[in-house]
Structure 1
Amino acid sequence: MCGITGWVSYDRDLRTETATLDAMTRTMACRGPDDSGTWIGGAAALGHRRLAIIDLPGGRQPMTAETPEGTVALVYSGETYNFTELRRELTALGHRFTTDSDTEVVLRAYLEWGDGLAERLNGMYAFAVWDGRRDTLVMIRDRMGIKPFYYHPTSDGVLFGSEPKAILANPLAPARVRLDGLRELLALVKTPGHAVWDGMREVEPGTVVTVDRQGVHRRVYWRLETRPHTDDRDTTIATVRALLEDIVRRQLVADVPRCTLLSGGLDSSAMTALAARQLAVHGEKVRSFAVDFVGQADHFVADELRATPDAPFVHDVARACATDHQDIVLDAQALADLDVRAKVIRARDLPMGLGDMDTSLYLLFQAIREQSTVALSGESADEVFGGYQQFFDEEARRADTFPWLVRYGRDWGEDADVLRPDLTETLDLKAYVADGYRTAVADIARLEGESDFEYRMRQICHLHLTRFVRVLLDRKDRTSMAVGLEVRVPFCDHRLVEYVYNTPWALKSFDGREKSLLREAAADLIPKSVYDRVKSPYPSTQDPKYALALQEHAKDLLARPSHPVFDLVDRERLRRAAHRDTPQITQASRHGLERALDLALWLDLYTPELSLT
């Protein structure tokens, strides 16, 4: 894992720009607290911050290889889980290695196969290669978009970085957000390639971006494709189990302490149980961590989303798998702390806003980092196997829009809207979402003979795997790396994603429940309580003290009438939410308060130039 950044300029001598490169690299310090390095050669300048995971002394970067035609230099972030096999193959081809790191394997693979190495990698990665033989920059991102990667074309080259903050540290990249950027920020959709910041782009998942003197070029090396599924139910379940066992085995490889994130749901429980079984062979115990809230048992009230609290199920799994378990228990004061909220916004560069679910995730990762450096997560299983309520909601199935927006529209409604009405009219998010939806479904291929219902469910699965999941993956990566914790996501292995995506919905839900294939594949691993449990999303505190703290922060903001947030937020709507009686503070009105506070902090931290016309 790590943070990468760089600058290619064909018209200037970057050796005179070391101060700017250092500033860009420093922004990635949280992603790489263990080491720092820079390299400048020719038209390229590369920066790297390292979080050491494999071959602690041997994986320093930028890493270079000298060839008769010129230097090839690499900055790499992520993990390549099949690096052992690739190393053997490259050794047989005559390559010689001086380290045990997967970074050197990626560098040697580039020397052997060029950007064709992308198709050979299994992992989560974002890396850039400066090829001095051709004066070309090659940027490659993993298939599912697990690792973030951004670039900003300039008049004579490009800036790039793991996160926008690295690019914004260069004077050539103004911190400007135009209307389309605000639309992307507020619409709760993820448009591939869109980076919100003006002039900036995202290296899209499964894509190679090449920069040379002629400009910027893109090559898609992987996309989610429609294929026939011919396996019967038993074979499908067995294949899912075999894939998961192989994936978890690969993702447990590390030279630092590991753990699992355990919520007591099907996804994290299956993953934790597999890890526990595999490590037990070597006489090791799995460490597991869960988030909980002070008084959650007292305050918990079942609702449409969450029928049960997590803690009892977490403890069932911890006992069954004999994990070394710890609950990270957070109070309302910590969750509402503006300093913590600011750190989350700084981590994500944007006020994406999932409220206490963001701050609790940050605090959970911060606590875990004191004991572990790598964590395995159950993230993305809902998208892969069909776990969300909208997969089973008839209104969402029929809607001519992104399915998750149907539920959010019902759950949040007007109480969550604190934006100025004139801004809402100018943004016209309804049209923006409609355009994005039409683009998203246009390229989803249909199998010959596939029924209308099966094709609709294929569309819903595809939308979750190419749009919705990327919001959550970015959240998970940016929040964890802000404290120097590497979070791995076994359910995003592209082999599993491809296989399960192409299983018919009738097979994905053969028992009428969510995630039927995963439940049966893990049936012998998990407690019966978890096997029978209905899907429950990441927890949110129900402590009324949290809502009261939000109101107090909103009142403080209202006392600063000249704050630029009121160019975006309607003062009267915020005032009503801030003075509402506690029993009337719904999740929706809480979300409105959180959005206003997030926007205000973002404007304080980044002072972006907003173009609202």
Structure 2
Amino acid sequence: MCGIAGWVAYGRDLEAERERVERMTATMRLRGPDDGGVWIGGPAALGHRRLAVIDVGGGRQPMTSPDGQVVLSYSGEIYNFQELREQLRSHGHQFRTRSDTEVVLAAYLQWPEDFAARLNGMYAFAVWDARSQQLLLVRDRLGIKPLYYYPTADGLLFGSEPKAILANPLAEAVIDGDGLCELLTFAKMPGHATFRGMYEVRPGEIVHLRRGGLSRAAYWNLQAREHTADAAATATAVRELLEDVVARQLVSDVALGTLLSGGLDSSAITALAQRSLVSSRGEPVRSFTVDFTGYTENFTTDAFRATPDAPYAAECSRALGTDHRTVVLDSAQLVRPEVRRAVLRARDLPYGAGEMDISLHLLFRAVREHSTVVLSGEAADEVFGGYPWFHDSAAVNAGTFPWMAALGGSSSGGFVSPELTARLDLDGYAAQHYRDAVAEVPRLPGESAAQRRAREVCYLHLTRFVPILLDRKDRMSMATGLEVRVPFCDHRLVDYVFNVPWSIKSADGREKSLLRAAVADMLPASVAQRRKAPYPSTTDPAYARALAGQATTLLDAPAELIHVDAVRELLRRPPDAMTRAERVRLEAALALWTWVREYDVRVES
């Protein structure tokens, strides 16, 4: 896994701008701590920072074709690279390394029109073809790996993260009304990058830059297909797909593990990984769980969490025989200002996950001491229907994103200026975004209204909710030099399950019925039947007290951005009386104000 950056400026020789290119590339150092390089040729410059996972001694980048005319800067993993390499050898290609990077480069040379459609993996990369003076920016089908671009008068800038682009003086850190709406509503609009003038390569998309201009083309979209298999055959097909997906994603030349919460999703991935590793290498998988000091011992149920993770993770590990570690975090770690700042710098944007972002960052940092690669159960809820609101008819039929109906649509929560909120028309923005998303949903002739709505809800989660979680996972992991793989985002699995009728996905009347049917035989019954529990959050009052202390900086914020009076009123109360909802919203406001200052953002709403 790596970080990439680059610049194309037609009519210029960017060798004169090497220092700026190197500065852009250096911002990706945390994503790629093992190596780095810059290639410049006339109007094109490509930079690369490497986290070595496959062919540690080879695969340096940017990588050039044998004739030097095509250059690749690549981030990600191609899980079918070994099969592709054999196909390419049959076409006469010779390989100097064992890396998947070289396979991607050869695939472009052999199949320039459809090479991306042949890739199975998580990736984001840039190809410069000097023969046609063309740049291609390519992103994987689900958007697991990030890639941004910023058109300029004579070309564009690009990078794995906005910070790479903002390191070039041509890019300005400006946020307008649309950008603020994007930050304050809990839905990801594909292609938007919050900063004015900056864009994301959409999942499953190729961006072409030529002298004549820029164009975009999708090479993959979710498609509606008739599903004819019964429940038993469908569960068998899902099991076979998962076995293949996990086996592919265990390919690594460095230490590998799994994230194990003790829930159905992560336990299924861990069980499959354990079987595969014991069979192929004769060794157990390493598994990791996060916990907080006193959390399990003093656990109390709430609307979302019926049980703590650690006991179930330990039970699952014992049953499977994994090499297990529990990472215990305390409030002293969570409240460090330098950690909060590192999280903000990792994300580049003030998304308001607050303490959960911080704990995830600390978890990944601890895991990195033992493993370079881990597999995660992320996205199973979106693929298989795991959230409570999937089964709440009011949320499903609310005429907006179901999670917004269930959780509330804005992260501002009264701590962002009410004048700003009213001027932005967040409700109108979210409503238009929702209508645009529903209009994209593929249809199947003959579907009933209920079937059509079930398909819409699944599509909304896969295209507007999953990207938020994947971005969070990518930024927090890559900031620690850890590669997190997400088997449930394999496009073959997603495409198959997307077309399974809701009656099969919810056959036992519970969340993720289909996944449970496919994997329950591998897991302890208590784990297989456990009710979904979200990622844990500390309940230590010391954290709320520390947050209240840090939030006093909001009292100096401009009134046109932060609702200072509301913050002041909250801070007058004992911190221990702060509700979790208030804490989350306060953290969102604190992140916004800190981001505006640290990134020197100009707000033009």
Matched, 1:467 2:464: yes
User: Which residue is equivalent to 1:181?
Assistant: 179
1:602 aligned residue: 595
User: Match for residue 242 of structure 2?
Assistant: 244
Aligned counterpart, 1:574: 567
- In the TM superposition, residue 504 of structure 1 has moved relative to its aligned partner by 0.3
Provide the residue aligned with 2:429 in structure 1. Answer: 432
Asked whether the 8 Å contact 1:115–1:208 carries over to 2, the reply is no
Alignment of 1:167-246 (within 5 A): 167-246=165-244
Deviates more, 1:450-459 or 1:134-143: 450-459
Structure 1 stretch displaced more, 80-89 or 302-311: 302-311
Gaps in structure 2 of 5+ consecutive residues: none
Cα deviation digits, residues 422-445 of structure 1 (max 9, x gap): 101111100000000000001212
Specify the SS of the correspondent of 2:182. Answer: helix
Give the 3-state SS of the residue equivalent to 1:512 in structure 2.
Answer: coil
Asked if 1:447 is matched to 2:449, the reply is no
Among 537, 540, 561, which residue is 2:537 paired with?
Answer: 540
Superposition pairs for residues 70-469 of structure 1, below 5 Å? 71-281=69-279, 282-409=281-408, 416-469=413-466
Is 1:611 matched with 2:599?
A: no
Letter in 2 for 1:418: F
Asked if 2 retains the 8 angstrom alpha-carbon contact of 1:258 and 1:374, the reply is yes
Could you tell me whether the CA contact under 8 Å between 2:352 and 2:585 is conserved in 1? no
Correspondence 1:525 to 2:518: no
Verify the 8 A CA contact 2:386 2:511 in the aligned structure 1.
yes
Aligned 8 A contact 1:115 1:138 in 2: no
Q: 1:74 corresponds to which letter in structure 2?
A: L
Q: Which runs of 5+ in 1 are unaligned?
A: none
Aligned residue for 1:540, secondary structure, equals coil
**2:554/2:562 contact within 8 Å kept:** no
Supply the AA of the counterpart residue of 2:419: D
Partners of 1:445 and 1:24 in 2: CA distance: 39
Q: Which amino acid aligns with 2:227?
A: H
Amino acid at match of 2:307: T
Residue 583 of structure 1: CA displacement? 4.8
Distance between the aligned counterparts of 2:393 and 2:540, measured in 1? 32
User: 1:163-220 CA distances to partner (integer Å, 9 max, x unpaired)?
Assistant: 0000000011011111111110111110010000110010000001000101101111
Q: Alpha carbon RMSD of aligned pairs, Å?
A: 1.3
Distance across 1 between alignment mates of 2:582 and 2:336: 18
Secondary structure of 1:114's partner? Answer: coil
**Identity level (%):** 58
Q: Give the Cα separation in 2 of the matches to 1:337 and 1:505.
A: 45
Distance (Å, rounded) in 2 between the aligned partners of 1:164 and 1:605: 14
> 1:523 is paired with a residue of what secondary structure?
helix
Q: Relative to structure 2, which stretch is displaced further, 141-150 or 282-291?
A: 282-291
Shift of 1:581: 2.7
1:345–1:598 CA contact under 8 A, matched in 2: yes
Q: What secondary structure does 1:352 align onto? A: coil
Q: Give distance in 2, aligned partners of 1:64 and 1:216.
A: 23
Letter paired with 1:340: V
- Helix, strand or coil for the counterpart of 2:125? strand
Following superposition, the deviation at residue 231 of structure 1 comes to: 0.9
Deviation at 1:567, TM superposition (A): 3.5
SS at match of 2:447: coil
Q: Is the 8 A contact 1:299 1:543 kept in 2?
A: no
* Cα separation, 2, equivalents of 1:344 and 1:395: 35
TM-score (norm 1): 0.97
Q: Which amino acid aligns with 2:119?
A: L
Code of the residue aligned with 2:463 in structure 1: it is T
Counterpart amino acid of 1:65? S
Shift of 1:115: 4.2
Q: Deviations over 1:326-353 (max 9, x none)?
A: 1111111211222111111100100101
Question: In the TM superposition, what is the alpha-carbon distance from 1:413 to its structure 2 partner?
Answer: 9.4
Number of equivalenced pairs: 604
- The 1:34/1:583 distance shift into structure 2, 3 A limit, reads closer
Could you list the per-position Cα deviations for residues 466-517 of structure 1 after superposition, in whole angstroms to 9, with x for gaps in the alignment?
A: 1100000000001100011000000000000000010000000001011011
Q: Is the 8 A contact 1:257 1:374 kept in 2?
A: yes
Give the match's secondary structure for 2:495: helix
Q: What TM-score comes out, normalization by structure 2 length?
A: 0.98
The ranges of structure 1 where at least 4 consecutive aligned residues each deviate by more than 3 angstroms after the TM superposition are: none
Q: Hey, what's the Cα distance between the residues in 2 that align with 1:428 and 1:332?
A: 37
Q: Deviations over 1:453-477 (max 9, x none)?
A: 1111111000000110000000000
What is the identity, as a one-letter code, of the residue corresponding to 1:574?
V
Q: Which residue in 2 is equivalent to 1:8?
A: 8
Structure 1 SS opposite 2:150: strand
Is 2:186–2:411's contact at 8 Å kept on the other side of the alignment?
no
